[in-house]
Amino acid sequence: MKDLDALIPVLPPSEVALTLVLTGANSHAAHPLHTVVSFSTDHPTSEGNDGAALPSLEAIQSDCRRHRRKRRRRKVLRDRLNKMLRRQMRERKEYLYRKAQEERERATEARKKKVKTALETNAPLPTDLKKDALEIQKLLDTETPGIDPLATHEDDEYRWAGVEDPNILITTAHDPSPKLREFTKELRLVFPNSHRVNRGGFGSKQLVDSCRSNNITDLIVVHEHRGIPNGVDICHLPYGPTAYFSLYNVVTRHDIPDVGTMSEVFPHLIFHNFTSKLGGRVQSILKYLFPVPKESNQRVITFFNDDDFISFRHHTWKKGENKGDDPVLTEVGPRFEMQIYKILLGTLDQENIAETEWRLHNFVRTANKRKLLTNADDEENKEKD
């Protein structure tokens, strides 16, 4: 301690305290601290004999506490991220398992249907079903009439429909034109509980991840070509499906003469001519973008299918002046035509890896004669192609 006592008159008070702490005030060390320790801190410091800034003991302790808090925050964020990723992986595996199980059940139902048809028509059984005919007959005897035995993954995708209102995010492609911004603002008024955001430089994966973390149920991305809206992508979250539509003849509210005021109550929906399996699928994708309305709401949105082109019209209505008069419709816009060209079993960021449920094939000989959203026979022939 003699050497330490000799250093005390030379050192400033702050470094004396640091030296006592690092060497130990009650220690019997023969040699004191000979190494100069420098710290970079924003806290108040004292100056030594040479004019250099030296940290105080309180500043050092404050820095240590701050670094410990940062490490704890990083650990908490890392644990939350890992927990979210594990949950998403587990739910994705469960979804794929249910989908594979559905395929097996569909194959079983097809075999049961063949056996049932053969028994009813007194026709010979197919060769591939002769071995399992007795077991299939037992399954037919245990069926409950009036209940659909197939529970599809489509039901699971929209299992909260009608229970919770949809929460929609509307955005555009990169660098939108003023015309596209105007169109998305009108779409925000069309869909209740929707929000419009500027996309900026965000990619598809960043958009989908952000929507998932904020409990967004549907993501709508509008595209354009030379300032004219020409496409819309509707992505249902968290796992799909994603429907891709082409847009034609877009007319905004500003271009409609004598346009009425826009009502923001929940609208009633009219779907016309969606009779095939594909038509029902498209109808479900569009229908679940809207919450359940009240019977008294005087707002109606129409999706009218004509030759696989879906006309969108938006009206408000009121009762006639005299009793027995027809309701008076007032168009409030916008108006446009849509055509479905692809349905993806996945989200918007999985376009290159997800399974394609359905795709439009225009370049076949009978493409112009088919009505895929209306006739079930045309749809079956389309899948064979």
Residue keyed to tokens 């359905």: 358
pLDDT recorded at residue 374: 87
The CA-CA-CA angle for residues 287, 311, 168, to 5°, reads 35
Q: What average pLDDT does range 98-119 have in this prediction?
A: 82
Residue keyed to tokens 């004292």: 46
pLDDT recorded at residue 382: 52
Distance (Å, whole) CA 287 – CA 271: 9
Which of 101-105, 161-165, 349-353 has maximum average pLDDT? Answer: 349-353
Distance (Å, whole) CA 10 – CA 363: 92
Give the global pTM.
0.65
313 band by pLDDT with thresholds 50, 70 and 90: very high
Distance (Å, whole) CA 282 – CA 234: 11
- Which DSSP category does 143 fall into? P
pLDDT recorded at residue 24: 47
pLDDT recorded at residue 257: 83
Of 287, 277, 341, 344, whose CA–CA distance to 309 is shortest? 341
Bridge partners (DSSP) listed for residue 300: 268, 315
Q: What is the mean pLDDT of the chain?
A: 80
Better-predicted residue by pLDDT, 369 or 277 = 277
Better-predicted residue by pLDDT, 111 or 190 = 190
Q: What is the tens place of the pLDDT at every residue in 17-41?
A: 444 444 444 444 444 444 444 444 4
User: 274 and 307 in contact (C-beta within 8 Å)?
Assistant: no
Distance (Å, whole) CA 376 – CA 281: 12
